[in-house]
Amino acid sequence: MSLKEEKLQIVDRIIHTDDATVIRKVKKLLDAAEKDFWDELPAHVKASVERGLKDVKEGRVKSHEEVFKKYRKWLIK
């Protein structure tokens, strides 16, 4: 079944349902899909991510291996 056919089948099912709960759930799902999670993040989290991206851009990073080697004693028991 093609994507277009699936969408039409879903639309048909929505049109023919009288279950308000189903309609609310579909609406909530579609609304959530339209939101960008970035817009929901607190300002301090966005600032932290932006600092991290700047660090990457400027080469201030460590490889997974380097970090794991340093902290192995606390991670592996």
**Token digits for 27?**
């609406």
- In this structure, the answer to whether residues 45 and 70 fall within a common structural domain is yes
Q: What whole-number distance in Å separates Cα of residue 23 and Cα of residue 3? A: 21
Query: What tens digit of pLDDT does each residue of 19-65 get?
Result: 999 999 999 999 888 888 898 899 999 999 999 999 999 999 999 99
For residue 77, pLDDT over 80 is answered with no
Whether residue 22 sits in one domain with residue 49: no
Is 9 in the same domain as 27? yes
Tell me how many domains the chain contains.
Answer: 2
Which run of H or E residues covers position 3? helix 3-15
- Specify the pTM: 0.48
Q: Which pLDDT score is estimated for 31?
A: 87
Residues 51, 63 share a domain: yes
Q: Which domain holds residue 57?
A: 38-75
